[in-house]
Amino acid sequence: MLAVLDSPRFADKSPGQAWATLLDEGVYLCSQATMYRLLRQRGQSGERRVQAVHPAKKKPELEADGPNQVWSWDITKLKGPVRGVYYLLYVIIDIFSRKVIWWEIWPTETGTLAREFIEHAIEANGGIAPGAIHADRGTSMTSNTVSGLLALLGIDQSHSRPRVSNDNPYSEAQFKTLKYCP
What domains, with CATH codes, occur in the chain? Answer: 2-41 (no CATH), 70-180 (3.30.420.10)
**pLDDT at position 86:** 92
**pLDDT at position 52:** 77
Residue 114 — pLDDT band, cuts 50, 70, 90?
very high
| Spatial contact of 73 and 91, defined as CB atoms under 8 Å apart | yes
Residue 46 to residues 5, 50, 106, 122, 175, Cα–Cα distance (Å): 13, 11, 53, 56, 48
Output the DSSP codes for 77-91.
EEE-SSTT-EEEEEE
Positive or negative, the Cα torsion across 66, 153, 89, 165? negative
Question: Which of 41-55, 93-107, 115-129 bottoms out in mean pLDDT, i.e. has the lowest?
Answer: 41-55
**pLDDT at position 14:** 86
Instruction: Please give the average per-residue pLDDT across 105-126, as a whole number.
Output: 94
**pLDDT at position 182:** 63
- Give the closest residue to 15 by CA, choosing from 46, 50, 61: 46
Instruction: Please give the average per-residue pLDDT across 73-101, as a whole number.
Output: 91
Instruction: Please give the average per-residue pLDDT across 85-95, as a whole number.
Output: 93
Instruction: Please give the average per-residue pLDDT across 46-73, as a whole number.
Output: 81
The pLDDT of residue 174 is above 90:
no
pLDDT tens for 123-148 read 999 999 999 999 888 888 889 999 99
Paired with 104 in beta bridges are 90
Instruction: Please give the average per-residue pLDDT across 32-56, as a whole number.
Output: 83
